[in-house]
C-alpha cells in the first residue's frame, strides 16, 4: 500500500479542474439551449410550446446516468465514438438545458403581466419588450434558482466518472485504490467540492443584494 | 383635426369573457378636448371598456376607432398607429421597477420614436416638470410614493404626445392626500385641452372636471350626458342610487 502524500492532494486538485471545466461546459451549453427553450415555452405558437415542453419532459424524466450512457456507449456503438469529455459535455448540456429552460420559463412568467401591458401601450414591439422590460426583471428573479442549479451541476459532474471521465470523484477513487484511506481521501474530495460550490452561493447572495439595492 | 370632431368612436361594442358578457353593445363618441368620466359600480364593465379602447382586449362585436383608425390587431399598422395616438395610465402605475424615472420615460422615446438619447432626456425633464417631479429624475420607482409613481406614469405617457389619454382608476390605490396630487395633474391636463377618458370612482373629480359623464351598468351605457345635467337630473333609478351612495 502506498502512503498518502501531498502529491495525492495535488492530483485531486488537478482533477478538480476537470470538474470545473465540465461544470462550465454544462452551464454554458445549458444556457445556450435553455434560453431558447424558455422563450419557446412562453411563446404564442402552440407548436413551439409543444416542442420545448416535449424536450423538457423527456429529459427531466430520464436519469442523467442514462443520458451519459447513451451519448458515450450508445453513440459509440453507432460509430460515433466520442471522447469522454465531449460525451459528458454533451450529456450535461442536454440535461442542464431542460432544467434551466424550465427554471427560466418560471422566471419570465413571474414578471407581472402588467409589465407587458404597460410596455405594449408605450408602443414597444415584442422583441423590445423582452429585451428592455421583461428579461432584465426575469434575470433578477432567476439569479438565486440559477445559482442553486449550478451547484447541483457541479456535484452531478461526479456522475461523469462512469464513462471514464477522470474528474474529482473518480480521482478520489483512484487515489483510494492505491492508498486505501477512504475517510481522509473522500473528506478531502468533499472539501474541494465545497470550495467550488460555496463561492457560488456567496456570489448569488451578493448579486441578489446588489439587484435589490439597484431597484 | 378640428375641435369638435370625434376622436374616439365606440360603436356597439360587445366583449365576452367565456360565457360572461361584460360589454353589451356599448357606444358613444368623444370629441377633441373633451374630458370624459366613465363611472359605475365594480363589474359594470367600465375598466374593460377602457382596455378595449387601448387594444389590450379583443372585442367580439362592434368597433372602436381612434383618430379615424381602427384599434387593429397586435403587430398591424393600425395598432402601431393606435399606440402613437393613445396613452394609457393604469391603476397599479406599472412603472418599470429596474429603470430610473428618467429611463422609464425615455425608453419608448428612444426605441419607438427613435429620438436621440439627448433629445429624449430633454423631453423627460419637460414632462416631469409638468407633473412636478423634476427632482426625482434619477430615482427608482420604489423610492417614490404611490402618488409620485402615478405622476411619473402620467408623464411617461404624456412624453409620447398622445392624442387621447386613458386613465384606468388611477387613484384607486392611493390614499386621499396622494389622490389629490394625481387628480391635480389630471385636472391641469384637462385644462390644457387634452382629450381624456377616465374610469374613476372620484365623483368630485368627475363633477368638477369632466365635460361628459358615462354611467355604466350591467355592461351597457345606462346614462350619458353633460356632467351638470346628468348629476342634476338622473333619469334612471340606478344612477340616482349610485350617485347617492357615492356622496
Of A120, A137, A215, the CB nearest to B140: A215
B137: DSSP letter:
T
Domain residue limits at A207: 6-213
pLDDT of residue B1 exceeding 50: no
Residue A196 belongs to some domain of the structure: yes
Residue A215's pLDDT band (boundaries 50, 70, 90)? Answer: very low
Counting residues of chain B whose pLDDT is more than 90, the rounded percentage is 87
Chain A, chain B: beta-carbon pairs less than 8 Å apart: 63
Residue B247's pLDDT band (boundaries 50, 70, 90)? Answer: low
Residue A207: predicted pLDDT = 78
C-alpha grid cell for residue B26? 356599448
Which residue in chain B is spatially nearest to A133 when comparing CA positions? B96
Residue A1 belongs to some domain of the structure: no
Residue A93: predicted pLDDT = 97
The edge-to-edge listing of strands for the beta sheet with B69-70 is B20-31, B6-17, B61-66, B69-70
Q: Which residues contact B56 (CB under 8 A, 6 or more apart)?
A: A117, A120, A121, B88
Residue A51 belongs to some domain of the structure: yes
Assign 3-class secondary structure to B75-125. CCHHHHHHHHHEEEECCCCCCCCCCCHHHHHHHHHHHCCCCCHHHHHHHHH
CATH number at residue A173: 1.10.3720.10
Give A-chain residues touching B107 at CB under 8 angstroms.
122, 124, 132-133
pLDDT of residue B88 exceeding 80: yes
**What are B30-46's pLDDT values in tens digits?**
999 999 999 999 989 99
Q: Which of A121, A210, A211, A214 to mutate to test the interface with B (most CBs of B within 10 A)?
A: A121
Domains of chain B: 6-91+164-246 (3.40.50.300)
The average pLDDT across A21-47 equals 96
Residue B243's pLDDT band (boundaries 50, 70, 90)? Answer: confident
**What is the total count of domains within chain A?**
1
Say yes or no: ipTM exceeds 0.90: yes
Average pLDDT taken over every residue of chain A: 92
Amino acid at each position: 500500500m502506498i502512503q498518502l502524500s501531498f502529491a495525492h492532494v495535488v492530483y485531486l486538485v488537478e482533477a478538480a479542474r476537470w470538474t470545473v471545466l465540465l461544470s462550465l461546459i454544462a452551464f454554458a451549453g445549458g444556457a445556450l439551449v435553455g434560453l431558447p427553450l424558455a422563450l419557446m415555452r412562453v411563446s404564442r405558437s402552440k407548436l413551439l410550446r409543444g416542442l420545448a415542453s416535449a424536450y423538457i419532459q423527456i429529459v427531466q424524466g430520464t436519469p442523467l446516468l442514462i443520458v451519459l450512457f447513451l451519448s458515450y456507449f450508445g453513440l459509440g456503438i453507432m460509430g460515433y465514438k466520442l471522447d469522454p469529455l465531449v460525451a459528458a459535455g454533451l450529456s450535461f448540456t442536454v440535461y442542464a438545458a431542460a432544467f434551466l429552460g424550465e427554471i427560466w420559463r418560471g422566471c419570465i412568467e413571474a414578471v407581472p403581466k402588467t409589465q407587458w401591458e404597460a410596455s405594449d401601450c408605450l408602443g414597444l414591439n415584442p422583441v423590445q419588450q423582452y429585451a428592455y422590460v421583461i428579461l432584465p426583471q426575469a434575470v433578477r428573479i432567476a439569479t438565486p434558482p440559477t445559482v442553486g442549479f449550478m451547484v447541483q451541476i457541479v456535484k452531478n459532474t461526479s456522475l461523469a466518472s462512469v464513462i471514464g471521465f477522470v474528474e474529482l470523484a473518480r480521482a478520489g477513487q483512484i487515489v483510494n485504490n492505491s492508498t486505501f484511506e477512504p475517510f481522509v481521501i473522500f473528506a478531502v474530495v468533499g472539501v474541494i467540492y465545497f470550495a467550488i460550490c460555496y463561492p457560488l452561493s456567496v456570489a448569488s447572495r451578493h448579486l441578489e443584494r446588489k439587484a435589490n439595492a439597484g431597484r | 383635426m378640428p375641435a369638435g370632431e370625434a376622436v374616439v368612436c365606440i360603436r356597439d361594442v360587445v366583449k365576452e369573457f367565456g360565457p360572461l358578457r361584460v360589454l353589451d353593445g356599448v357606444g358613444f363618441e368623444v370629441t377633441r378636448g373633451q374630458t370624459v368620466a366613465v363611472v359605475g359600480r365594480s363589474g359594470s364593465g367600465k375598466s374593460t371598456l377602457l382596455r378595449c379602447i387601448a387594444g389590450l382586449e379583443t372585442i367580439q362585436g362592434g368597433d372602436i376607432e381612434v383618430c379615424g383608425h381602427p384599434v387593429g390587431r397586435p403587430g398591424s399598422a393600425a395598432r402601431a398607429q393606435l399606440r402613437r395616438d393613445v396613452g394609457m395610465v393604469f391603476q397599479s402605475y406599472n412603472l418599470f421597477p429596474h429603470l430610473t424615472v428618467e429611463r422609464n420615460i425615455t425608453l419608448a422615446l428612444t426605441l419607438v420614436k427613435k429620438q436621440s438619447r439627448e433629445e429624449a432626456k430633454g423631453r423627460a425633464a419637460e414632462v416631469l416638470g409638468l407633473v412636478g417631479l423634476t427632482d426625482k429624475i434619477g430615482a427608482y420607482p420604489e423610492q417614490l410614493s404611490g402618488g409620485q409613481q402615478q405622476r411619473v406614469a402620467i408623464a411617461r405617457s404624456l412624453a409620447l404626445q398622445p392624442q387621447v389619454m386613458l386613465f384606468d382608476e388611477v387613484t384607486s390605490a392611493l390614499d386621499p392626500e396622494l389622490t389629490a396630487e394625481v387628480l391635480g395633474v389630471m385636472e391641469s391636463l384637462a385644462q390644457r385641452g387634452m382629450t381624456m377618458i377616465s374610469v374613476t370612482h372620484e365623483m368630485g373629480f368627475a363633477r368638477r372636471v369632466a365635460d361628459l359623464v358615462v354611467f355604466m351598468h350591467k355592461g351597457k351605457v345606462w346614462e350619458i350626458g353633460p356632467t351638470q345635467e346628468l348629476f342634476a337630473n338622473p333619469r334612471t333609478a340606478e344612477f340616482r342610487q349610485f350617485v347617492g351612495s357615492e356622496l
